[in-house]
Amino acid sequence: MQALHFGAGNIGKGLIGNLLNKTGYNVCFVDVNQEAVDYFNTNQQYHIELLDEQHTVETVAPVSALNSVTQKEKVIEAIVHADIITTSVGINNLAGIAPILSKGLLQRIKENKNAIDVIANENAINASTALKQEMEKHISDSEINDINTIAGFPNSAIDRLSLSETRNGGERTLAEPYYEWIINKSELINFKVPYIKDAVYVKDLQPYIERKLYIVNMGHAATAYIGFFSGNTTIQKTLENKDITNLISGAMNEASKYVEMKFGFKDEDLADFIEQTLKRFKNKNINDKVFRVGRNPIRKLSFDERLVKPARELFDLGYPVDHLTVAIAAGFLFYNSADDESVILQKFINEHGIDKAIDHYTKINNQELKNKITENYKLLMKGTVPFPIQKGR
């Protein structure tokens, strides 16, 4: 069996390629990085070091790679002959692979190939649907209808911290032991290939997507922003401070109330989920940079994103958001000169003030909630740490 995966980054290697290979697929990566392409084709394998106590090493083989810029015809041919197609290129980069994927799937129709599933594994809600929408911009209605007859676009939710580190002139993929890959089986079209090993197939993906976004991703971003404020460089170092851990735990508990009300998760199950997530964040074998986790603050502070949506939904219903509003305020303080969104955000605040920045980027329409965020921002600016400590749930 042949798997074609777009994106040879950390998640592509540390999770998607790994589980596809364990399922029995030969994995071909598609990327724009010629150095990475050459590495795969020369070595035909790569190694993943698990960030456990033993630093267990797993080998992924056989693998190969194609360059999506210089080898377009070969990529199209690979799309025609693949048994499954996956992506992990970043939600903003799906537009870049949509044209070649469209061509490949249309060619697949001409050659009467079997049905195939295309799974976009991005850190966003309904990424596969977004990929299909990008494809629709490049082909006619009749062509997209033809593609729909032979291609499914199952949405998924993924979760694994995967990093990379340069060692002895080479790059080593590092991954935490925990992982989760949840796939909407109701959107599958090809049932002739086996289910991906260790992936979870569900009929309704939305509860799991939102649980991850509004608890895990929210907590991770909040830790990065509070970590930056407190002068720490890593997530792990940040959470050595018990007050900060209490703040992050409080924010996650607040956000979990939104998930509980919307999807009916049990309170005790969410409490266990939060405890497990914090344990992951604290893993001493991981060196997770605050600048990496906090990047793209404009997106992460937007209306329906991880920090703002649970805060505004809960506030409108009369639930406490003391911890969430501190985390949002800290997000408006985040600055990394190498991160474009961070630079733009701070420039806007300097020119227009924090009140207009909150208006402009969060789109929150509840003045009382905006005032609460502004108040916490001003306290942080003064060096005061408004860490409300919540004991228990």
Residues of the chain with pLDDT under 70: 169, 386-393
- pLDDT mean across residues, the chain: 94
User: How many angstroms separate the Cα of 290 from the Cα of each of 38, 198, 232?
Assistant: 31, 30, 8
Cα separation, 148 vs 345, in Å, equals 40
| pLDDT for position 388 | 54
User: What is the share, in percent, of the chain residues with pLDDT greater than 90?
Assistant: 92
In 3D space, the residue among 41, 132, 49, 56 whose CA is nearest the CA of residue 95 turns out to be: 132
Task: Provide the 10 A C-beta neighbour count for residue 340.
Answer: 12
DSSP 38-104: HHHHHHS-EEEEE-STT--EEEE-SEEEEETTT-HHHHHHHHHH-SEEEE-S-GGGHHHHHHHHHHH
What are the structure tokens assigned to 300, written together? 């992460």
CB neighbourhood size of 210 (10 A): 21
**How far apart, in Å, are the Cα atoms of 27 and each of 65, 83, 299?**
8, 10, 32
pLDDT in tens, 125-171: 899 999 999 999 999 999 999 999 999 999 999 999 898 887 776 78
- CATH 3.40.50.720, the chain: domain bounds: 2-203
Which CATH superfamily groups domain 207-381? N-(1-d-carboxylethyl)-l-norvaline Dehydrogenase; domain 2 (1.10.1040.10)
Q: What is the CATH number of domain 2-203?
A: 3.40.50.720
Residues 31-47: tens digit of each pLDDT: 999 999 999 999 999 99
Distance between CA atoms of 103 and 98, rounded to whole angstroms? 9
Task: Give span(s): CATH 1.10.1040.10, the chain.
Answer: 207-381
Q: How far apart are CA 298 and CA 7, in angstroms?
A: 24
